[in-house]
Amino acid sequence: MRRVEGVLGQVRNSVLINAADVVLAIGGGWGTLNEIALAVRLGKPLVLLESWEFKPPEGTVPAVARWAADPAAAVAAVQELL
């Protein structure tokens, strides 16, 4: 029997990312990676803080992604993208 919470968590991620103007990803859990992937696929501006680093097979990091060095830089990047 499959746990319902896991399925609902993925639906929640989709709803949140679809509703977001900017996505701020903090940390490196699997749920965070799922949210990052959704943001990139939807073309949502994405700020990453102490989070996943990735390189797609085609070799270019999506233009929507930027990494922040610290929390203040992350907040500044989000404000700039709004």
59 or 34, which is more confident? 34
- Sorting pLDDT into bands at 50, 70 and 90, what band is 6? low
Q: CA-to-CA distance for 66 and 21, rounded, in angstroms? A: 15
- Sorting pLDDT into bands at 50, 70 and 90, what band is 1? very low
DSSP 31-49: HHHHHHHHHHHHT--EEEE
Q: pTM higher than 0.85 for the full model? A: no
pLDDT of 2 reads: 52
Q: CA-to-CA distance for 52 and 27, rounded, in angstroms? A: 7
Q: Which of 24, 57, 55, 60 is nearest to 39 (CA)?
A: 24
Mean pLDDT of 10-29: 92
